[in-house]
Amino acid sequence: MGERLEKVAEGEIPLVAAKGEEIPRYKQLDSTNRLLILKALCELRAHQDDTVSYINDALKEGNQISSFHKDKIGGDGNGTSYWYDGNKTIGYRLYRELNIYPSKRNSKGKGCLTPPAISSQWETLATNLDEFRKVVDELSGSKVVAEVDVSKTIETDAIPVLEKLQKNKDRALKQKQRQEMLLNYFTKPLAAGITRSCRTRRPVSYTFENWAPHSWKSKKALQLPEYPDPDELGSVLNTLEAFPPIVFASEARKLEERLAQATFGEAFLLQGGDCAESFKEFNANNIRDSFRVLLQMGIVLTYGAQIPIIKVLSLGFCF
């Protein structure tokens, strides 16, 4: 780095090896010396073999090297230019370049062939969506036509990209907050209360490997009536087994996936229905009314929670 620094500045190198204390000493330097050191590092990096190889390969493939190139989106024709660069990983930035020309009084005469030195000043105008919108509002009201054109370019090219990026960030933040809330719910001990959600949870002891189509018969049924004729009961069960399934396997798997989303806070489960309706109450009107109420509740929850609502309606327990 010392050789590079000698090419861009004069005098001694302001930063030397200090056994891990280089960064604190660098921060204590004045802005001019820090800028010179950064310039030397950039020149050193640009001449290294891997950087040169990357640039050459990218140029051969026709890719845009955004890390080394800024797009000029306009200027006022009087030395002020606007530049735009970035990507979704490092973010997007808007710069203003101001070229300062020397006054004619400083010229050495008509016979001087040396072109006047031009100094450039760079200013970062925007680094986020709100700042980009503020620049658009300022330039759109300018009396300079070129600046109005710059505002239109920013509004059509940059603002939609930044809005999409901001939506993705907000969505990721909400998802992280929901996951943290769910994690806190399961890790914190339940407080004493009288709600049903505060009941002692029973440990889960079953596995899917133990399931079989007829495994339900091994479970104790507490709310089923006793049928006096087992032969007739067997005949009815055989008839029902021959019918097509009311719920298909794909629907069950889809519901299982959506319930998994609810456990991570990415969805909300809304379940309703009667625990054990009678045959008299099981009719088309009750089914329609229950379905309508569940849908109305789902609409309200969707608007309030801003997450998908899983609607489950329990019917036909009398069977």
Query: What does the pLDDT profile of the chain (319 residues) look like in tens digits?
Result: 555 555 555 556 666 666 767 777 777 888 777 777 777 777 666 666 666 676 667 666 665 554 545 678 888 777 888 888 877 766 788 888 887 766 655 545 454 444 555 667 778 888 888 999 999 998 888 888 888 888 898 898 889 988 988 888 888 888 777 767 766 655 555 444 444 444 455 555 656 567 777 777 787 777 777 889 989 998 998 998 888 888 888 888 888 888 888 888 888 999 887 777 777 777 788 888 888 888 889 888 888 888 889 988 887 665 6
Asked whether the beta carbons of 5 and 37 are under 8 A apart, the reply is: yes
Q: Does 42 appear as a known binding residue?
A: no
Strand partners, 96: 82, 123
Query: What is this structure's pTM?
Result: 0.41
Asked whether the beta carbons of 84 and 94 are under 8 A apart, the reply is: yes
CA distances from residue 23 to 10, 11, 117 in whole angstroms, order as listed: 22, 21, 34
**Domain locations in the chain?**
2-61, 71-102+117-170, 229-319
